[in-house]
Chain A
Amino acid sequence: MKRVVSVSLGSSRRDHKVEVELLGEKFEIARKGTDGDFDRALELLKELDGKVDAIGLGGIDVYLFVRQKRYAIRDGLKLMEAVKVTPVVDGSGLKNTLEREVVRFLAGETGLIKKGTRVLMVSSVDRFGMAEALCEAGCDVTFGDLIFAAGIPYPIKTMDELEDIANKTLPEMVKMPFHMIYPTGKKQESQDEAKVQKFARYYHDAEVIAGDFHLIRRFMPSGLKGQVILTNTTTGEDVGFLREKGAGTLVTTTPEYGGRSFGTNVMEAVLVAILGKPWSEITAEDYLDMLKKLDFRPRILKL
């Protein structure tokens, strides 16, 4: 049996372990949260190195892609570099391919995404592929990066402006301590009440709310009117939270195993274990080919 472990800076309350069979091979997939403790994550990574088939880094991004440019988050790199033997991934490679495909699937097969659909992406620099695919599908997208990350009530409305602002700010933002730019540990279990109130209108005005689940959750107001939530990792508890807020449909880009969807970092680690190639040699085509073989489809859940 192959073992894949996701080490996350997120809450240990979301820990989970399942056994699945993929392409005739058995996998044990586990997620271990470190409650925002960076040093504990480092220790755990060193402990797992050489003992498992692939490692995913969760609760933190390492690479952010803005078209052809790639920015590396300093804290994420430190974690990645602690692993010397086992392949380690942050999910960014898969995000850039899988999430584009998911948007195309939703537009082509479900009617959940149409030309003119009002989409709020709470953060887009961490999933540029999804952002591009939503624009290609003709959606009216509001990129909320400045609103939710910097508290600036300035909705970005075009890919060109998103790219311009990202290229001005990301080279330095990636050097900041990660907890300043993304909720880690206990922050993932609470909401930022001031921003929830201040920026509720962006959620209420949207038909689809897309992006990282921790960010979506942190700023989500009550009184939604059946919006579609397009995101990655959710637990049963998260589904209850979304129902309570009034969301109508949950779409997770990764499939469900054992009652929950795993993060893209976990799924990318699984694919790397199957492919058996060094991560640096894996191409987007390899991922797409593997996704087809595995018949990966998004999970669509009526709330």
Chain B
Amino acid sequence: MATHEEIAGSLQAFADSYNKNERLKIMNRDWDRVVQIKATDVESVHTLILKDGVLSLVEGAAGSPDLTVISDSETLADIFYGDITPTEPYNNGTLRIMGSEDDIIRLDFISLMIWGE
């Protein structure tokens, strides 16, 4: 089980990697979205806000989310640190993402562009 702080650390690492990637910022200039991340086994809610291509992290719930990402704390930390990809937990139901299918694919794509080898 990961702690709230570990999840926060993973999300910050994700946001930092994203913001260092100029190509991703250009790609997402048109895509303003609010993504809420909730853990199922610890009290932990964060919000990633993508605006004008730049990604920021906020503690707790903020705004009304376009996408909601729900999983156990360990899986969340693993995904956002890039230790695992979201595909497998998404396919086996460990990871749930609520939102439009287009938005889900785009979020998945961003994570692959950050951590993909």
Point out residues on A near B: beta carbons under 8 Å.
Answer: 146, 149-154, 165, 167-169, 171-173, 175-177, 180-181
Contacts and interface: CB of A to CB of B under 8 A. Distances in A.
Contacts of B87: 172-173, 175-176
B28 A152 contact: yes
Interface in B83-105: 85, 87-88, 91, 101-102, 104-105
Nearest to B111: A172
A152 B109 contact: yes
B105 A168 contact: no
B26 interface: yes
B50 to A, nearest CB: 12
A168 B116 contact: yes
A87 to B, nearest CB: 30
A154 B27 contact: yes
Contacts of A177: 91
A61 B105 CA distance: 19
A165 B116 CA distance: 9
A172 B90 CA distance: 11
B100 to A, nearest CB: 10
Interface in B6-52: 23, 26-28, 30-31
A169 B108 CA distance: 9
- The dominant DSSP class at the A interface is helix
A180 B90 CA distance: 13
A113 B76 CA distance: 49
B85 A172 contact: yes
Contact of A151 (B23, B85, B91, B106): B106
B72 to A, nearest CB: 20
B112 interface: yes
Contacts of A175: 87-88, 91
B109 A171 contact: no
10 contacts: A150-B106, A151-B102, A168-B112, A169-B112, A169-B116, A172-B108, A172-B112, A173-B87, A175-B91, A177-B91
A173 B112 CA distance: 9
Contacts of B23: 154
Contact of B27 (A152, A167, A180): A152
B97 to A, nearest CB: 12
Given A175-B87, A175-B88, A153 B30 contact: yes
Contact of A168 (B27, B30, B117): B117
Contacts of B91: 175-177
